[in-house]
Amino acid sequence: MRRVSTVSPADVDLQLRVARRSPLSRTRGHLGALLRRPITQSLVKAVLTIYVTVTITFFLIRLMPGNPVEYKIDELMQSGLDYESARAVASNLFSIDLDAPFHEQYISFMANVMRGDLGNSFLSSGTTVMSIILSVLPWTLFIVGGGLLLSFTIGTALGLLAAYWRNSIFDHLVTSVGSFVDSVPDFLIALSIILILGVQLRWLPVAQMRGAYSASVTPGLTPDFIGDVLFHAALPILTFFLATVGVWILGMRGATMASLEDDYVTAARARGLRDSRITTAYVGRNAVLPQISLLAITMGAVVGGAVLIEQIFVYQGVGYRLLTAVQQRDYPIMQGIVLVTTTAIVVANLVADLVYSKLDPRIGRAGGATGG
């Protein structure tokens, strides 16, 4: 006669408790909790965005007409070599086999990126991509950062005053100017500065202001070099200032007017607080929150979009170097700059989310970037 085994509910409950306390179960629980955190999800999205952008760029640049070997062959043939000799020399200059299938080149490229190796420039033999980027990135950050900080500070202040003095002559003038410059593309502003202030009025020596600094000045932390750098950066900074100041004026004006309608402003006035105190401690602080968030996003976007401005002023930054690499089909430089600029934009968005959630705790409690 076969025995029938019975398992009591208490035994089942005990087995479930033991399973929950097992290391594997605890690890899975911690991992699941970590993946549910908004900051983790934001980081995963950021990594995927960078990966997809770099992958698309890798294949797109190889579908462009011409390649660095052909450009180098043309250059060597102009110096007197015949086609076969020029092709032999050009083929030996590049460490990558451009005739290999795309997927093999892609796997090799991604493996190098994972090791932090962006490779060497095709046309600058022995020079690493990272060293080239690091040599031009500070110049772009300087003009972009300088222009944005000036426009943010001045535009935010003007927008705040325009909201307080709404419907006044000052308000109409400031908002009209802000709307106009906000609608004009940055490259058109740069060309207008050159044509009007440099060519027509001759107020500025535009030809002497080209480049990042004068060749006759020795780089170093000296008054002469610093003054020369500021002289050459003045027009790009002015361009970025004019191109972005309208955003801060209109944004701050709208946010301030919305804040002035809130109940806490009425309550503050009923308590007898001065308008200056209400402006700085209540209205200004709340209205500037979207501005700070937008500043980080704009900073990242402008770094990637400085190509035309740097080309117009012959300013040797990241944008100027990227355009040169595109013209010469220098694949590693193109890939490296796209990777750096994409990372800058994605990181700027993450920073904006984090800063906004810190400044406004309600965002974090509602499931913001730093929410639990």
Angle at 298 between CA 62 and CA 359, to 5 degrees: 135
Higher-scoring residue by pLDDT: 98, 192? 192
Q: Note the pLDDT of residue 372.
A: 40
Q: Which domains does the chain carry?
A: 43-117 (no CATH), 132-365 (1.10.3720.10)
Contact call for residues 151 and 240 (beta carbons, < 8 A): yes
| Residue-level pLDDT at 248 | 92
Q: Which of 29-38, 44-53, 255-264, 304-313 has the highest mean pLDDT?
A: 44-53
Tokens found for residue 161: 């005053």
Q: Does residue 226 register a pLDDT over 60? A: yes
Give the mean model confidence (pLDDT) for residues 172-197: 91
Q: Which two tokens stand for residue 203?
A: 């107020």
Q: For the ranges 118-132, 143-157, 158-172, 325-339, which has the lowest average pLDDT?
A: 118-132
Q: Among 13-22, 259-268, 336-345, which is the least confidently predicted range?
A: 13-22
Higher-pLDDT residue of 269, 215 = 215
Residue 255 to residue 287: CA distance in whole angstroms:
5
Tokens 């401690």, located at residue: 281
Residue 366 binned pLDDT confidence (cut-offs 50, 70, 90): very low
Over residues 76-117, the pLDDT tens digits come to 788 777 877 777 777 676 656 666 788 888 888 888 888 888
**Tokens linked to 292:** 């700070």
Residue 217's region, left for phi above 0, alpha for psi from -120 to 50, else beta, is beta
Arithmetic mean of pLDDT, 130-141: 89
Is residue 63 scored above 50 in pLDDT? yes
Contact 326, 263 (CB under 8 A): no
Between CA 16 and CA 194 the distance in angstroms is 76
pTM score, whole prediction? 0.76
Whose CA is closest to 78, among 92, 67, 90, 66? 90
Q: Report residue 368's pLDDT band, with 50, 70 and 90 as the boundaries.
A: very low
Render pLDDT for 337-358 as a digit per residue (tens, 0 to 9): 888 888 888 887 787 777 666 6
pLDDT classification of 228: cutoffs 50, 70, 90: very high
Please give the Cα distance from 329 to 71 (Å, whole number): 8
